[in-house]
Amino acid sequence: MPIYEYRCQECKGLFEAIITSTEATTEVSCPKCSSNIVKKTISASSFRISSGSSAIPSGALSGCSSKSGFS
């Protein structure tokens, strides 16, 4: 499920919402002021794409995960 960032046009708050394909037509409300006047923002991707290989999440090869990045 994709996570989208929104900015409220009323209180200028920035928040994230998980939107499924079945909820694509559902109105998104600001959690701070409950306004429905929100605008989807452009956010940075968490994937790193390099030529000739598959996309690997940028954090998959660090932290507590195994050397391969997969548990």
Q: According to the model, what pLDDT value does residue 20 have?
A: 78
| Token pair for 51 | 């030529």
Question: If you ran DSSP here, which 8-state letter would residue 46 be given?
Answer: S
Length of the chain: 71
pLDDT at 71 > cutoff 60: no
Report the SS3 class of residue 22. Answer: helix
Record the pTM.
Answer: 0.55
10-69 pLDDT, tens digit each: 999 999 988 877 766 678 999 999 999 999 988 766 666 666 555 555 555 555 544 555
pLDDT at 9 > cutoff 60: yes
4-10: average pLDDT: 94
